[in-house]
Structure 1
């Protein structure tokens, strides 16, 4: 997985995972390097919790968010239409 980060100034910059910018959802990052070991990057992502109970709701995820989740190992629901998987 390719990781890159640019920090040109306070509150600005990019955090990319395989080209997908996740800076807007990133609240922190730890980067650890040790001789002879691969670099370890730990990202803290902002997660918002909302409790809803709605029958027959259609839930969509914006394409950029979906791609970031897929890059992080998320699997879409089994009942998602094949063209959207």
Structure 2
């Protein structure tokens, strides 16, 4: 799914680079490779040398565009101690 034009995608990549969002840049570059006609596997190999979750990235893009690709962290395991302890 094309949420952005190629020019807008380039701008999103540039903005993510300026914001030092390395993971988002990698994911957006993956999408750009898909725009240029690569298969999911080819696009993934161009971005990194190891196995990456290309199906999940493509699905996140289709569902939510750029915001869908942003890494989300659950905050980790809850602390065992209370704030008073």
TM-score by length of 1: 0.26
Q: Considering fraction of residues, name the structure with more helix.
A: 2
Name which structure has the greater RCO, CA cutoff 8 Å, separation 6+. Answer: 2
TM-score by length of 2: 0.26
